[in-house]
């Protein structure tokens, strides 16, 4: 690595990254402390924290190599990286290891590799390459169909595992598409669909239809008072479409979703209260976070954490460890660090003179945001448990490796944004 490259690196972003991964090791150690014997350390690879340190070292070593690679390499081999990620996903159905009903991992000796995490890199490179190398216009149906195809393949293969949580993360790719000119009408449709989805699940079918009808009727009368040009038929059509959507949600939820998925969603929206069954994880997580108070109980002093009351605390519910041992201020600081990380990536992405590199960096920021928002949402009970780790902090070697590689690729792009080599 040349001296000139070292000076061009975004050291603020690097420091945020190093803080998050170090803080992650500390909290994984705390969340798994009960499994340690007296003479064990964090470099003992027979324990979870040892494996996390191992993946961190691999991530940093790989990242240093990435910083020295010609930036054109990533654009030229974007299609190949996407193809490899798809092959790895498809190979799971033959060579994959099944854990908790999901065939999502390859067993590589003492460690496991989750291709769905690495596929985010391949997909981000592919989307960025397509938007930059072709005369792509996001207002054209042909362009939208091509992008939908690139997104559909990994999502479909991940859903078949089945791992719907990891598939949901791919919705993050819509954010860079909006930046590159995708109509905001799609965002409006998404927000309305989400609202109708929640209404349909929260109430009985007839009640939800009545609520939707009242909202549409109220909107019509308000707009009619503002303008006499408002017509009735679009609102009638909106009501008919909403009824059809609500019916489909009700049917899919009751006939296609697994019982565990239905239970988790019902607990979050308040239709069921089950603090000892399916809602146990969320309830214990909220207890742990609440018990931390303002400044927390201190490192290795969390009673909920030490008592193993929160299942999967080192992965899905790692934020409960943060809340209990580091308190409200510690949790707030983590949120601030993630916010700085995301905004820093977006700010530097806007300085890129290459559309390929800008789209990729936006994809990285968006993926981090989705993981960050959903994971913390799961921990505080506003999002159903869908198995999404907190980047850089949750235990999970594949997730740590994937996000680290994305960060280092972005750092390479940023450091060489004025150079085409």
Which domain, by its residues, includes 169? 3-181+284-415
Distance in angstroms between the alpha carbons of the first and the last residue of the chain = 15
Same domain, 141 and 195: no
Same domain, 316 and 367: yes
The answer to whether position 420 is within a domain reads: no
Tallying the residues shown for the chain, one arrives at 421
Residue 389 DSSP symbol: P
SS3 call for 299? coil
Number of independent structural domains in the chain: 2
What is the four-CA torsion angle of 23, 26, 30, 31, rounded to 10 degrees? 50
Strand residue runs (E) in 23-109: 97-99, 102-108
The answer to whether position 264 is within a domain reads: no
Cα atoms in the 13 Å half-sphere on the side-chain side of 71:
23
Query: Between the CA of residue 321 and those of 101, 294, 316, 401, what are the distances in Å?
Result: 26, 14, 11, 22
Same domain, 132 and 218: no
The answer to whether position 16 is within a domain reads: yes
What pLDDT, on a 0 to 100 scale, did the predictor assign at position 161?
83
CA 260 to CA 379: how far, in whole Å?
18
pLDDT at residue 36 greater than cutoff 60:
no
Same domain, 136 and 246: no
pLDDT at residue 314 greater than cutoff 90:
no
pLDDT at residue 121 greater than cutoff 90:
yes
The answer to whether position 383 is within a domain reads: yes
The answer to whether position 271 is within a domain reads: no
pLDDT band at 108 (very low <50, low <70, confident <90, very high): confident
The answer to whether position 17 is within a domain reads: yes
Residue 309 main-chain phi, psi, to 5 deg: -80, -25
At 10-27, the pLDDT tens digits run: 999 999 999 999 999 999
Portion of the chain with pLDDT greater than 70, in percent:
87
CA 117 to CA 122: how far, in whole Å?
10
What is the pLDDT of the chain when averaged over all its residues?
A: 83
What pLDDT, on a 0 to 100 scale, did the predictor assign at position 186?
80
What pLDDT, on a 0 to 100 scale, did the predictor assign at position 257?
60
208's tokens: 């939800």
What pLDDT, on a 0 to 100 scale, did the predictor assign at position 360?
95
pLDDT at residue 129 greater than cutoff 80:
yes
Same domain, 33 and 171: yes
Same domain, 153 and 241: no
CA 229 to chain centre: 43
Domain boundary among 256, 272, 303: 256
Name the H helices within 160-302: 164-168, 174-179, 185-202, 205-226, 233-255, 259-269, 280-291
25's tokens: 């090791």
pLDDT band at 272 (very low <50, low <70, confident <90, very high): low
The answer to whether position 269 is within a domain reads: no
Name residue, tokens 């150079």: 419
pLDDT band at 242 (very low <50, low <70, confident <90, very high): confident
212's tokens: 């939707």
Residue 103 DSSP symbol: E
Name residue, tokens 């927390």: 296
Domain boundary among 218, 236, 256: 256
Q: Hey, how many other C-beta atoms are within 10 angstroms of the C-beta on 354?
A: 18
What pLDDT, on a 0 to 100 scale, did the predictor assign at position 159?
83
CA 386 to CA 400: how far, in whole Å?
18
Judging by DSSP bridges, how do beta strands 102-108 and 111-113 pair with one another? antiparallel
Same domain, 43 and 136: yes
What pTM was computed for the model?
A: 0.85
Name residue, tokens 């819509």: 174
What pLDDT, on a 0 to 100 scale, did the predictor assign at position 40?
55
Strand residue runs (E) in 40-190: 97-99, 102-108, 111-113
Same domain, 198 and 173: no
What pLDDT, on a 0 to 100 scale, did the predictor assign at position 85?
94
What pLDDT, on a 0 to 100 scale, did the predictor assign at position 382?
78
What pLDDT, on a 0 to 100 scale, did the predictor assign at position 47?
78
pLDDT band at 34 (very low <50, low <70, confident <90, very high): low
User: Where is pLDDT greater, at 137 or 107?
Assistant: 107
Same domain, 163 and 294: yes
User: Which of 107-121, 212-226, 325-339 is predicted least confidently?
Assistant: 212-226
Same domain, 149 and 228: no
pLDDT at residue 205 greater than cutoff 80:
no
Same domain, 160 and 195: no
Domain boundary among 256, 272, 295: 256
The answer to whether position 278 is within a domain reads: no
Taking each continuous run of H as one helix and of E as one strand, the counts in the chain are 18, 3
Same domain, 247 and 293: no
Residue 29 main-chain phi, psi, to 5 deg: -60, -45
């Amino acid at each position: 690595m040349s001296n000139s490259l070292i000076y061009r690196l975004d050291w603020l972003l690097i420091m945020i990254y190093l803080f998050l991964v170090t803080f992650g090791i500390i909290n994984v150690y705390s969340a798994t402390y009960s499994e340690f014997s007296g003479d064990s350390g964090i470099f003992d690879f027979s324990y979870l924290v040892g494996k996390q340190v191992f993946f961190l070292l691999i991530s940093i070593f790989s990242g240093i190599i990435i910083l020295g690679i010609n930036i054109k390499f990533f654009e030229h081999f974007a299609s190949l990286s996407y193809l490899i990620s798809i092959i790895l996903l498809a190979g799971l159905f033959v060579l994959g290891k099944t854990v908790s009903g999901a065939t999502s991992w390859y067993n590589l000796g003492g460690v496991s590799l989750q291709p769905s995490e690495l596929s985010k890199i391949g997909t981000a490179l592919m989307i960025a390459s397509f938007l930059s190398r072709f005369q792509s216009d996001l207002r054209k149906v042909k362009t939208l169909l091509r992008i939908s195809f690139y997104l559909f393949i990994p999502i479909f293969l991940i859903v078949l595992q089945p791992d719907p949580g990891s598939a949901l993360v791919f919705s993050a790719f819509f954010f860079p598409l909006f930046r590159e000119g995708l109509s905001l009408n799609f965002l409006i449709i998404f927000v309305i669909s989400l609202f109708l989805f929640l209404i349909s699940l929260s109430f009985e079918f007839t009640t939800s239809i009545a609520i939707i009808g009242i909202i549409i009727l109220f909107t019509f009368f308000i707009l009619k008072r503002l303008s006499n040009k408002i017509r009735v038929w679009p609102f009638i059509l909106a009501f008919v479409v909403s009824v059809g959507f609500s019916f489909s949600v009700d049917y899919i939820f009751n006939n296609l979703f697994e019982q565990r998925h239905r239970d988790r969603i019902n607990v979050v929206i308040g239709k069921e209260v089950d603090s000892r069954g399916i809602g146990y994880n969320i309830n214990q997580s909220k207890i742990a976070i609440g018990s931390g108070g303002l400044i927390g109980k201190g490192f290795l002093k969390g009673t909920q954490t030490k008592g193993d009351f929160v299942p999967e605390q080192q992965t899905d519910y790692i934020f409960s460890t943060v809340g209990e041992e580091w308190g409200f201020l510690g949790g707030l600081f983590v949120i601030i660090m993630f916010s700085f990380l995301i905004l820093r990536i977006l700010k530097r992405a806007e300085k890129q003179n290459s559309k390929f590199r800008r789209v990729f960096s936006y994809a990285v920021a968006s993926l981090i945001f989705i993981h960050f928002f959903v994971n913390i949402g799961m921990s505080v009970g506003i999002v159903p448990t869908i198995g999404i780790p907190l980047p850089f902090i949750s235990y999970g070697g594949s997730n740590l490796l994937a996000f680290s590689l994305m960060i280092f690729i972005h750092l390479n792009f940023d450091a060489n944004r004025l150079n085409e080599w």
